[in-house]
Structure 1
Amino acid sequence: MTASPRVLKGPRVLKGHGTENDFVVLPDPDGTVWPEDRLDAATVRRLCDRRAGLGGDGVLRLVRSVHVPDAPAVLGEALGSCEWFMDHRNADGSYAEMCGNGIRLFLHALVAEGLLERSACEAGVLVGTRGGPRRVGAVPGGGYWVDMGPAREFGHGTARLDGRSFAGRAVSMGNPHLAALTDVDVDTLDLTGAPEFDPALFPDGVNVELVNVLEPAAHVRLRVFERGVGETRSCGTGACAAAYAALAAEDRTEGTVVVDVPGGRLAVQVDPRTTVLTGPAVLVSAGVLCPEWLGA
């Protein structure tokens, strides 16, 4: 007689990605499973470890804003309008302000968990982030859009990588970016090491985008090195910064740019008021964290 399989008990966990920018997703609506003192930097690093953990570019905790200690400070008057908060950590355990790929996956996971109705999300749902409130919605037929807020240029800088210098625009999307347009084929660059940058311009570090323009102000291809993570297959805020830089290079302040990343394709609509990112979100698996791993 075959023994019945053992039912494992432990905290539920999901794994998913947006254009292959992948995340460990922790459902914690009431803030009781992963309070701040449990989801510390060491635990985040273990979860994101691609050999000894689940693997990911970061961790997203699905939690109501009222259970996040720093939510009032980062959301201000918008706190009451943001039921949900994207508690986002980079793979190194540090806090992250915002992630365009992550927030699409965040909404997709809320829908999959039965915490929101997809049909009710098409007009957009306000979600709290450490970069401020962001409106994210479902696209009929699949995919999600995110109102990322305006791109704000705050200077020019240079990234030094692979023995070369790449001049770019410093752009804030709630987090800092250096978007460098280059004629060097980005596929030939070595992004295994962190690019050098001006710490006076970027005191909190920076995400560096190396961008090839395929069609001026309309289509670009990029690779990105994200602070606290390394090279990733995609970066939503980086795609927005790259689209802004591609338009600015043509003296334009608005337009829609197709952005190809190693993990797929995104669309970015830019105007002086805001930036809207559209792309897919996919859940790969769901399960539990085993007691033997948690106790190790």
Structure 2
Amino acid sequence: MSTPTTAQGPRVLKGHGTENDFVVLPDPDGSVWPEDRLDGALVRRLCDRQGGLGADGVLRVVPSALVPDAPGVLGDALGDCTWFMDHRNADGSYAEMCGNGIRLYLHVLLAEGLLTREEATAGVLVGTRGGPRRVGLGETGYRVDMGPARPTGRSEAHLGGATFPGLGVSMGNPHLACLTDVAVDSLDLTGTPRVDPALFPEGVNVEFVNVLGAEEGPAGTTAHVRLRVVERGVGETRSCGTGACAAAWAALEAGGRSTGTVVVDVPGGRLTVEVDERTTVLSGPAVVVSSGTLSPEWLG
């Protein structure tokens, strides 16, 4: 097992899933990053792309038993979730779930010797604030059982003077998936889309989706879409796993289907989403880019 601290400072990793990037803080005994140390201000500093390491969020690798709010979100599954993905958005707020982040989380558990390859291949339950999620090592990356997609109603996003009708979808966190004929590559997503605050009182991730193939996707899949996303608390990211699931579900629903396999192209790469009557499964890569320590000078 790797040591989370050294004489120079706390250990830190940087990695991504389809370029949705995270600062990862190993904390296997919960002593390095207690709640009163890893506060919103420090998360914002870590994620700052000029003054910190730069990332879309922070993932703390910590046992579920050491997270104060884990019992409330995991319930009876607490004992089955050895590890908890303590996920913070770049603005310091807590996040319920992230499909790209949890694939990276499993990759880190393997790289840190906290999980064997046999265990990863079989699949393990990981605790999140969106509930328990089963993650496993697949043939071409990592597979995550994301749970069922739940429609929450139709709404619209307003961006740059244009209105984009969308479908609200909950993946444990809120999404508004907007299928559009406007090329998503042409959109200016530097601002935050305006949405209905009554439907999304805690904010929402907004997906702009082009359907490239409604009847057939690559390698015999059901459909093929291209996606860009603005994540609440972050802004535009290179990828969003829960957003890919929401977009896939919306694309299938628009085509009169309730099940299928959708290839989702994001700016950071390619994901695959399998939708059946029970759940959605997200597949894609994850990689650790670097490891090191946080200097006492920067920590202050």
TM bin (shorter chain): over 0.9
Q: Distance in 1 between matches of 2:61 and 2:266?
A: 26
Residue equivalent to 1:121 = 120
Q: Distance in 1 between matches of 2:153 and 2:293?
A: 45
Question: What residue identity is the alignment partner of 2:194?
Answer: E
Residue equivalent to 1:208 = 206
Residue equivalent to 1:243 = 248
Q: Distance in 1 between matches of 2:269 and 2:178?
A: 20
Residue equivalent to 1:3 = none
Residues 226-237 of structure 1 aligned to structure 2 (within 5 Å): 226-237=231-242
Residue equivalent to 2:219 = none
* 1:81 and 2:80 correspond: yes
Equivalent in 214, 217, 224 of residue 219 of structure 1:
224
* 1:253 and 2:252 correspond: no
Question: What residue identity is the alignment partner of 2:16?
Answer: H
1:8 Cα deviation after fit:
6.0
Equivalent in 291, 295, 299 of residue 294 of structure 1:
299
- Structure 2: gaps spanning 5 or more residues: 1-5, 215-221
Deviations 1:54-77 (A, max 9, x none): 000000000000110000000000
1:163 Cα deviation after fit:
1.2
User: After TM superposition, where is structure 1 displaced by more than 4 Å over at least 4 residues in a row?
Assistant: none
Q: Distance in 1 between matches of 2:251 and 2:7?
A: 50
Residue range with higher mean Cα deviation, 270-279 or 114-123: 114-123
Residue equivalent to 2:148 = 150
Indicate conservation of the 8 Å contact 1:220/1:243, yes or no.
Answer: yes
Residues 141-180 of structure 1 aligned to structure 2 (within 5 Å): 142-180=140-178
Q: CA RMSD in A?
A: 0.9
Q: Distance in 2 between matches of 1:118 and 1:84?
A: 16
Question: What residue identity is the alignment partner of 1:144?
Answer: Y
Indicate conservation of the 8 Å contact 1:177/1:241, yes or no.
Answer: yes
- Structure 1: gaps spanning 5 or more residues: 1-6
Equivalent in 182, 192, 195 of residue 197 of structure 1:
195
Indicate conservation of the 8 Å contact 1:8/1:288, yes or no.
Answer: no
Indicate conservation of the 8 Å contact 1:23/1:60, yes or no.
Answer: yes
Q: Distance in 2 between matches of 1:239 and 1:110?
A: 24
Residue equivalent to 1:136 = 135
Residues 32-47 of structure 1 aligned to structure 2 (within 5 Å): 32-47=31-46
* TM-score, structure 2 normalization: 0.95
Q: Distance in 1 between matches of 2:36 and 2:263?
A: 41
Residue equivalent to 1:183 = 181
Q: Distance in 2 between matches of 1:139 and 1:94?
A: 31
Indicate conservation of the 8 Å contact 1:89/1:96, yes or no.
Answer: yes
Residue equivalent to 1:49 = 48
Q: Distance in 2 between matches of 1:8 and 1:238?
A: 40
Indicate conservation of the 8 Å contact 1:266/1:277, yes or no.
Answer: yes
Residue range with higher mean Cα deviation, 8-17 or 239-248: 8-17
Question: What residue identity is the alignment partner of 1:226?
Answer: E
Q: Distance in 1 between matches of 2:184 and 2:85?
A: 31
1:119 Cα deviation after fit:
2.4
